[in-house]
Structure 1
Amino acid sequence: MKTLKRLTILLSLLTLTLPSSATAAQPPHKNVILMIMDGTNSDILTLSRWYRGTDLKLDTILRGGVRTYSAQSAITDSAAAGSAMATGLKTKADYIGMNHSGSPVLTVLEGAKLSGYKTGIVSTSPVQHATPAAFTSHALNRDEFGDIGEQQVYQGLDVVLGGGASWLKPQAKEPSIDDDGMLKTNQVSREDGENLFKEIHSSGYDLVLKRDGLLWATASPKLWGVFADEDISYELDRPLLHPDEPSLAEMTRTAIGRLSQGEKGFFLMVEGSKVDWAAHKNDPVGMISEVLSFDDAVREALDFARKDRNTMVVAVTDHGNSGLTIGNRDTNGNYKTLPAERFIDPLKKAKLTVKGATSQLKKDRSNLKEVLSNYGLGDLSGKEYHAMESADSVEELESKMVNLMAKRAHLGFTTHGHTGEDVFLYSYGPDKPVGLIENTDIPRVISTYMGFSLWTGPFASWYTDGVKYYRDRGYEVSVEGRTSINPVMVAKRGDLVLRFQENKDFYWRNDEKVRLKSVNVYDGETFYVHVAE
């Protein structure tokens, strides 16, 4: 009996000193890497696999499918699709971080940030474009790049990497004129004159503008990299034409390295933006370039996740585009005898995408043959060359080039627009989503894993109609500059004056600057603020 008693006491002491099973099972941190391949259909993934000659990294984590339709259409745009994956709510075309009624709702990135996680975005488009915008801002029109860019700067993200410098800098005092004496049509900048680069710098970011700066930047907690005025080059073009720009894989690796320094964990959204851009042009070479670029970025995420063991990786496309098919009307009678090489070999002759090739075209078109050769069309018949030579514009030339490439590679295209099919779901790690799901299920799975909800508790009703809120409390409220580029909501009661600036994360209480937990949003009618009771 004495021996049994001693054993009982010893076991009790061990139980007190060891962590409970619940505590032991709880990881010290949780990370989520959501990767979105914009505008990608299934055939281009198959074609890219044949082109590379090996399985894709994506193939190793194929888990199901995703339905992509929006609140108003069987075929979505990137704004509605991105917002669905960011907020968990179906919405309308062009809406950014808004529900179908046009009111701002918190995104999964904002929820993660408010819950103490580090946050970041990576994109090969301007970061103000629809998909990255949907996670970081709120607007009724995806083209409001100025407002979107301003909100992103004041959101306080930890890492931002991509293009879009044009919407961070003030409008030039003098317009830029090209060699023909014409105003440059691609000259864009901020209409409100604000220099957001100064705000980025003063907010403690490492600000990098070139690839070397990204690869060798010091490890401060916050990083903002902007590598192009607009979009970053197609990966096939980048080494030759724009070597100062980083690859998507390099940006992804750097973002993970910075964000993983936090104790609680991080949420990172990575977009391979330009499969969609190439698909709109019906350029199969550009589409393959960007699928493989995205797959390289997926490899970076999976390498980290497999070592970390507390990281969920979700990869998906937001919608299809172009209706690409391996096979076309010319293969109706002989498709059973065509090996993969018959589709791939013409594509492999291209050294540049169609955009990259035509960007080198001289004004007098004296190097047209070289341009065509760079796109893999160096062996044209006289009739084919004359068709290229007779193109009235660069856009028409590009159209003729991609059409001929598609014909040679036995590929078909049904549209220059989006398509409405279900898309593949790829996932890895703890609590990963599987099966055929809605795009709105993605943020629900992510937020559940990270331990917060966007649809219950304080996050569910985060944004308030500021005018109504303060009027109900006895303030005189107005919106100054309602139609200007920098509206301000002003609430007055006695000697107290509150001033809320659109797109900022603060307000003025008389002369005191008070920080908010999110940005103010104005849609032209309603001024939305977050009020902490």
Structure 2
Amino acid sequence: MDRRKFIKGSALMTGLLSISPMDLLASGQTEESKKGQAKNIIFMISDGMSSGTLSMANLYSRNILGRNTCWMNLYLENRVARALMDTASASSIVTDSAAASSAFGGGVRVKNGVLNVGANGERHMPIWQKFKNKGKKAGCVTTVTITHATPAGFCINSEKRNAEPEIAEMYAEIGFDVMMGGGDEFFNPEKRTDKKDLYAVYKQKGYQVLKTRADLSNIDRNKKILGVYNTGALPFAVDRAGREELQSTPSLADMTSAIDRNKKILGVYNTGALPFDVDRAGREELQSTPSLADMTSAAINHLKDHPDGFVLQVEGGKVDWAAHANDISALIHDQLAFDEAVKTAVDFAEKDGNTLVVITTDHGNANPGTIYGAEATANFDSIAHYKFTNEYILNSIHANHNLQQIKDWIFETNRFRLTDEEAKHLLGFYQGLEKEDGLYNYKKLPFKLYSDIQKKHNSVGWISMDHSGDYVELTMYGPGSNLLKPFVKNTDLHNLMLLATGLA
């Protein structure tokens, strides 16, 4: 079903799930399936997922797409063990992704900003190295750079999470079996400051290098995999969906040249104005990059026949980036893309019978949620009209645009109309009259201003633009899930994985 079409009677579907707490804590798995030893582990992290993100993604999926998410169905069908998890780091009740991943990876809480390195320089062996030493294959896939904090926390030691060029070299030295995501700038000699050709290094070590989505169909099963599909992170999921509309509208040159001089012409190509020219660019990038589910499926297929089993980390990294930008459309659609990867993993685990699937987040971020009001349902459902991320929309506005152009663009992409005052305020950022900072706002876009404008129309609010210290959802399916207690610390998962596989 089209993601922008409302299902009939959607207003009846907006309540919270009618499930008792006791039902949610129960597990529909058999005692045998829960207690068996896991041969494989798939550890899934929706980075920066507050509980409101999980709730709103399911609400959107039910109201607009007509179905619950896979994650919520696991609860509804009592198929999983469930817990709350404390995500603090050694230096703060609010963790960053490096310390959070290190808690899982090294089993010890470290300070924010470092990867598996203690306060006195102790180097805690990351869990994927432990599993490789025991003969299992190991890999990571992510929607951000493969050298980013979350995959790195399972794999290496580093005193600086931002040492991504060096982390790319560490991966090759250790020899992980599947690594897929973004980050061409850390492997490409033309983009690295030291001019090292990391692609050549990986090929010399027996890796097949994948660069496009199509490459996933031509994987050599006898080689390890390095898949790097973009400079920086991969595109947001909702921007992929919006590209078809951009492709269907002509440019000014197209309209000028393709005219039959013997006929009068009426050409209507869009509701409102045609897209800005800058937004036609980058379509090939959107088409050539795989989804998280694509990469997850390819990774599982590549690893599944190894006689000693495998461990795989899967990260929906841009959920966190969307929360930092207070971007509800990006947030929901990347959470849904993560959920598709969850389905891929659980479907495999169900057939395999020997795979423990861990589904969680590393921390909350911005704590978004729906706001009470008479029009809350209709307002929230209007997000179905949002064609692109706020990053994409705001990048398309420039200082020389007039107010009407901005108002037309916002209506075209979000289906609501700015007031003149809102348009003036928005334009002020591009004319240097105002500024806005933020961890992932390197382009200095007016994310907060725009999300505040959107809030009037979609009834979604945010507490901040940064991480939060709240307890988070933790779910397990498969052998070893019986080990999960109702409340855990993030470091507990390190030993749980070792116990579940019989290595502790």
TM-score of Structure 1 vs Structure 2, range by shorter chain: 0.7 to 0.9
Corresponding residue for residue 166 of structure 1? 185
2:154 aligned counterpart, secondary structure: helix
Q: Quote the offset at 1:266 in angstroms.
A: 0.2
CA distance in 2, matches of 1:133, 1:101: 20
Partner of residue 57 from structure 1, selected from 70, 75, 82: 70
Task: Report 1 or 2 for greater relative contact order, CA contacts < 8 Å, sequence distance ≥ 6.
Answer: 2
Q: In the alignment, is the contact (CA less than 8 A) between 2:364 and 2:467 conserved in 1?
A: yes
Q: Is the 8 A contact 2:36 2:479 kept in 1?
A: no
Matching residue of 1:307: 351
| Percentage of pairs with the same residue | 31
Is this contact kept in 2: 1:425–1:434, CA < 8 A? no
- Distance change (3 Å), C-alpha of 1:391 and 1:236: same
C-alpha distance in 2 between matches for 1:147 and 1:351: 37
With normalisation by structure 1, the TM-score equals 0.72
The alignment partner of 1:207 has SS state of strand
Moved over 6 A (4+): 25-29
1:362 CA drift (Å): 6.0
How far apart in 1 are the matches of 2:451 and 2:172? 38
- Opposite residue 428 of structure 2, the aligned amino acid is S
1:394-420 residue CA offsets vs partner (Å, 9 max, x unmatched) = 634443322211232122211111100
Question: Equivalent residues in 2 for 1:354-433 (5 A)?
Answer: 354-361=390-397, 364-365=400-401, 368-369=406-407, 371-373=409-411, 375-392=413-430, 395-432=444-481, 433=484
2:104 is the counterpart of 1:85: yes
Report the 3-state secondary structure (helix = DSSP H, G, I; strand = E; otherwise coil) of the residue aligned with 2:42: strand
Give the AA of the match of 2:311.
F
Q: Report whether the alignment pairs 1:268 with 2:304.
A: no
Paired position in structure 2 for 1:45: 54
CA distance in 1, matches of 2:447, 2:358: 34
- CA drift at 1:338: 4.9
Distance across 2 between alignment mates of 1:28 and 1:415: 42
Query: In the aligned structure 1, how far is the partner of 2:48 from the partner of 2:225?
Result: 28
1:351 aligned partner, one-letter code: K
Secondary structure at the aligned position of 1:237 is classed as helix
Higher Rg: 1
Offset at 1:276? 0.7
Contact 2:86 / 2:471 at 8 angstroms: preserved in 1?
yes
Equivalent of 2:212 in 210, 213, 224? 210
CA spacing shift, 1:224–1:373, aligned 2, 3 Å: farther
Native 8 Å contact 1:146 1:191 kept in 2: no
TM-superposition CA deviations, 1:244-294 (whole Å, max 9, x none): 000001000100000102111000001100111011111111111111111
Q: Secondary structure at the match of 2:456?
A: helix
From the superposition, tell whether residues 137 and 318 of structure 1 become closer, same or farther in structure 2 (CA, over 3 Å): same
Deviation of 1:157 after TM superposition, in Å, equals 0.7
SS of equivalent residue, structure 2 residue 193: coil
Structure 2 vs 1, CA of residues 371 and 154 (structure 1 numbering), >3 Å: closer, same or farther? farther
Alignment of 1:343 onto 2:380: yes
Q: Secondary structure at the match of 1:243?
A: helix
C-alpha displacement of 1:52: 0.9
CA distance in 1, matches of 2:225, 2:180: 8
The partner residue of 2:300 within 256, 280, 284 is: 256
Contact 2:40/2:310 (8 A) holds in 1:
yes
Using the TM superposition, give the Cα deviation of residue 124 of structure 1 relative to its aligned residue in structure 2, in angstroms.
0.6
Q: Is the 8 A contact 1:160 1:223 kept in 2?
A: yes
**Using the alignment, how far apart are the partners of 1:28 and 1:318 within structure 2?**
25
**1:23-42 correspondence to structure 2 within 5 Å:** 30-42=39-51
Match of 1:291 in 2: 335
Structure 1 unpaired stretches of 5+: 1-24, 173-188, 454-533
Give the deviation of 1:325 after TM superposition: 2.5
> 5+ unaligned residues in a row in structure 2: which ranges?
1-33, 75-79, 244-282, 433-442
Instruction: Give the alignment of 1:118-517 within 5 angstroms.
Output: 118-170=137-189, 172=190, 189-239=191-241, 240=243, 241=283, 242-327=286-371, 331=372, 335=373, 337-338=374-375, 340-345=377-382, 347-361=383-397, 364-365=400-401, 368-369=406-407, 371-373=409-411, 375-392=413-430, 395-432=444-481, 433-453=484-504
- CA–CA distance in 1 between the matches of 2:117 and 2:165? 17
Tell me the SS of whatever aligns to 1:79: helix
Question: Which deviations, in whole Å up to 9, do the C-alpha atoms of 1:379-399 show, x marking residues without a partner?
Answer: 222222232233226634443
Per the TM alignment, residue 369 of structure 1 is displaced from its structure 2 partner at its CA by 4.4
Counterpart residue identity of residue 469, structure 2: G
Q: Is the 8 A contact 2:56 2:332 kept in 1?
A: yes
Aligned-partner residue type, residue 501 of structure 2: M
Cα distance in 2 for partners of 1:115, 1:42 equals 36
Spell out, residue by residue over 1:109-133, the C-alpha distance to the aligned partner (whole angstroms, 9 max, x if none): 1111000001100011101111111
The answer to whether the Cα contact below 8 Å between 1:169 and 1:190 also exists between their aligned partners in 2 is yes
TM-aligned CA distance change 1:151 to 1:370, over 3 Å: farther
Structure 1 residues 142 and 63: CA distance shift in structure 2, 3 A? same
Distance in structure 2 (CA, Å) of the matches to 1:306 and 1:430: 10
Q: Specify the SS of the correspondent of 1:414.
A: coil
Paired with 1:130 and 1:232, the residues of 2 have a C-alpha distance of 15
Per-residue deviation, 1:437? 0.9
Q: Given that residues 90 and 100 in structure 1 are in contact (C-alpha distance below 8 angstroms), is that contact kept between their aligned partners in structure 2? A: no
Q: TM-score, normalised by structure 2?
A: 0.76
Q: Which amino acid aligns with 1:344?
A: D
Residues 447/62 of structure 1: CA separation in 2 closer, same or farther (3 Å cut): closer
* Closer, same or farther: CA 32–406 of 1 in aligned 2, 3 Å: same
Does the 8 A contact of 1:283 with 1:354 survive in 2?
Answer: yes
Secondary structure of the residue that 1:110 maps to in structure 2? Answer: helix
Aligned to 1:315, what secondary structure does the other structure show?
strand
Shift of 1:372: 2.1
Which deviates the most, 85-94 or 190-199? 190-199
Q: C-alpha displacement at 1:359, in angstroms?
A: 3.9
1:395 aligned counterpart, secondary structure: coil
What is the CA distance between 1:147 and its match in structure 2?
1.4
RMSD: 2.2
The letter for the 2-side match of 1:229 is T
AA in 1 matched with 2:363: H
Task: Name the SS for the 1:444 alignment partner.
Answer: helix
Q: Distance in 2 between matches of 1:325 and 1:216?
A: 42
The one-letter amino acid of 1:75's match is: V
The structure carrying a bigger strand percent of its residues is: 1
Contact 1:118 1:158 in 2 (8 A): yes
Which segment is superposed worse, 238-247 or 313-322? 238-247
Secondary structure of 2:237's aligned partner: coil
